[in-house]
Chains A and B, each alone.
Chain A
Amino acid sequence: MARDREFLLPAGRVFIALSFVAAVLLEWLPWSGWALALRPDFVGLVLLYWCTHKPHRVGIGIAWVLGILVDVADSSLFGQHALAYAVLAFGGLTLNRRVQMFNLREQSVHVFGLLMLSYSVYAIVHWQVRGYVAWEYFLGGITSSLLWTPLTLLLQLLRRPRRNPNEL
């Protein structure tokens, strides 16, 4: 089964790093207006992917560093995204076995729950510091979980080894 072999797919450090760079760059695109409100959380998704698929490689520490980077780029408070991503990564690590039991559509539901948890952390911090709740971020949770299936397929496609042309 393809799903069984998933664990065997290679995932080099460089590939993981590149995927994060790509996610951060996507996050930094000049989004504005409605697009900003609906912007999927690319970093969160990629993080969740690696946390569920390669839990030994990617953990809470990497999530936290990524969160700091996103904080600077978003000019939100230091530690706001970091805390949210740490919680997200923890959720991903805890649920990685469980999530892999399901097919992609059912995985999306889990992802949605985890993202909502992460956004709740973010929103609570926002509420405590700024005094109001930024509800728009929850819209991003919906688009993000819709994006889970294509993102997973893409990453798995990229992880698949090139077919040897000399192979019979």
Chain B
Amino acid sequence: MTLEDTRTLRFFNRGPSGWARLIFFSVLSLLLLFVDARYRYLESTRQVIAVVIYPFQRLTALPGEMASDIGAYFSLQHHLLADNTQLHLQHDADAAQLQQLQTLQAENAQLHALLELKQRAGYTMQAAQIAYVERDIFKRKLFVDKGAQANVQAGQAVVDNIGVVGQVTRVYPWLSEVTLVTDKDNAVPIQVVRNGLRAVIFGSGNISELELRYQPLSADIEVGDELVTSGMDGTYPPALPVAKVIKIERDSAYPFAHITCVPLAGVDRHRTLLIVSSVPPLPELPPSEAESKEAPRSGKNAKRVKP
């Protein structure tokens, strides 16, 4: 201590001694502490200093933030990849379900339409699901899952939400055979909507074609005419759409015009059809004409000439 004192005081002027400095700065510190703790006068000073040192503090925080950011980036990348895979799988599953949904929606729409038809028509109908389709491509027949147990009788008309599909031709206990309007030589009495002309339309054996036979060359039928059931046979309810004329060949070498139509109803579509169960019976025919009218009543492959 003495050595230091002599050294510090003799040759080099080093200012006040250590003790003096310590006491000075301690008092200063205590004063600041007192002022700060008691009166809070130094907040502005503190803020100024804080502003000055803020960039340096940010600088020190930078490496940590960058590290955490980089970590977040990589973990995010990982998460995104996983998410992406997950979403792809989900999308595939959803797409499959969406397909089902669309099928269901279409079916639902058709069922709605059928229901509406049922309510609109004055006759009772029962819905039937198509069970089998005839495997012989030359026969336009199918089987529905309603039979004698459901009071289905041969000769009843089968329609869908648009129009006529066919006719019940054979009844089994739980199944019924339906002959489609497009079956070869299946006949349906019709009327042209435009002018009320009555005629009979025949199946052609081709799924998408019907023929309007025995019409003279001069018959008032045009392309685009809509043909509906006339209800004259007591089998088909009146005014159900049947077909539409698409082609007329008038060749004077033949006595009749060759008129081709397309069925309007979804003859080869849908799973659900309606069987018309009670068409109000027509009054009895006079005996003299009974023979010629008997054919359509029997139902199957009724050949009819123009009335």
Nearest-neighbour CB distance to chain B for A39, whole angstroms, equals: 13
A28 within 8 A of B: yes
C-alpha gap A63/B18 in the complex (Å) = 13
- Chain B 19-48, CB-CB to A under 8 Å as 1, else 0, gives 101100110111111011100001001100
B53 within 8 A of A: yes
* Candidates B26, B49, B59; contact of A68 at CB < 8 Å: B49
- Chain B 50-74, CB-CB to A under 8 Å as 1, else 0, gives 1001001101110010000000000
* Candidates B33, B59, B61; contact of A79 at CB < 8 Å: B33
Contact status B33-A129, CB under 8 Å:
yes
Contact status B53-A73, CB under 8 Å:
yes
A158 within 8 A of B: no
Among A31-69, those with CB < 8 Å from B are 56, 59-61, 63-64, 67-69
Nearest-neighbour CB distance to chain B for A14, whole angstroms, equals: 17
Main SS of chain B's interface residues? Answer: helix
Contact status A25-B21, CB under 8 Å:
no
C-alpha gap A26/B36 in the complex (Å) = 26
Residues of A within 8 A of B19 (CB): 90
Residues of A within 8 A of B61 (CB): 28-30
Residues of B within 8 A of A56 (CB): 14
A-B pair number, CB within 8 angstroms:
86
C-alpha gap A10/B52 in the complex (Å) = 31
Contact status B25-A61, CB under 8 Å:
yes
Nearest A residue (CB) for B18? A93
What's the tally of chain A residues with a CB closer than 8 Å to chain B? 31
Contact status A78-B30, CB under 8 Å:
no
Residues of B within 8 A of A125 (CB): 33
> Given the known A-B contacts A30-B64, A72-B53, are A60 and B18 also in contact in the complex, defined by CB atoms under 8 Å?
yes
C-alpha gap A67/B33 in the complex (Å) = 12
Nearest-neighbour CB distance to chain A for B44, whole angstroms, equals: 12
* Candidates A28, A86, A93; contact of B29 at CB < 8 Å: A86
Among A133-147, those with CB < 8 Å from B are none
Of B14, B31, B50, B60, which is in contact with the most chain A CB atoms at under 10 Å from its CB?
Answer: B60
Of B22, B29, B42, which is in contact with the most chain A CB atoms at under 10 Å from its CB?
Answer: B29
Nearest A residue (CB) for B20? A60
- Chain A 71-106, CB-CB to B under 8 Å as 1, else 0, gives 011000111101100110010011001000000000
Contact status A90-B37, CB under 8 Å:
no
Contact status A64-B49, CB under 8 Å:
no
Contact status B21-A60, CB under 8 Å:
yes
C-alpha gap A67/B18 in the complex (Å) = 18
Contact status B49-A86, CB under 8 Å:
no
**Besides A83-B25, A83-B30, 18 other A-B contacts (C-beta < 8 A):** A28-B56, A28-B57, A29-B61, A59-B21, A60-B21, A60-B22, A64-B29, A67-B29, A68-B49, A69-B53, A77-B37, A78-B32, A78-B35, A79-B29, A80-B33, A82-B28, A86-B22, A90-B19
Name 23 A/B residue pairs within 8 A (Cβ), A-sorted. Answer: A24-B56, A25-B56, A28-B60, A29-B60, A29-B61, A29-B64, A30-B61, A64-B25, A72-B50, A77-B33, A77-B37, A78-B45, A79-B28, A79-B29, A80-B29, A80-B33, A82-B25, A82-B28, A82-B32, A83-B26, A83-B33, A86-B26, A90-B18
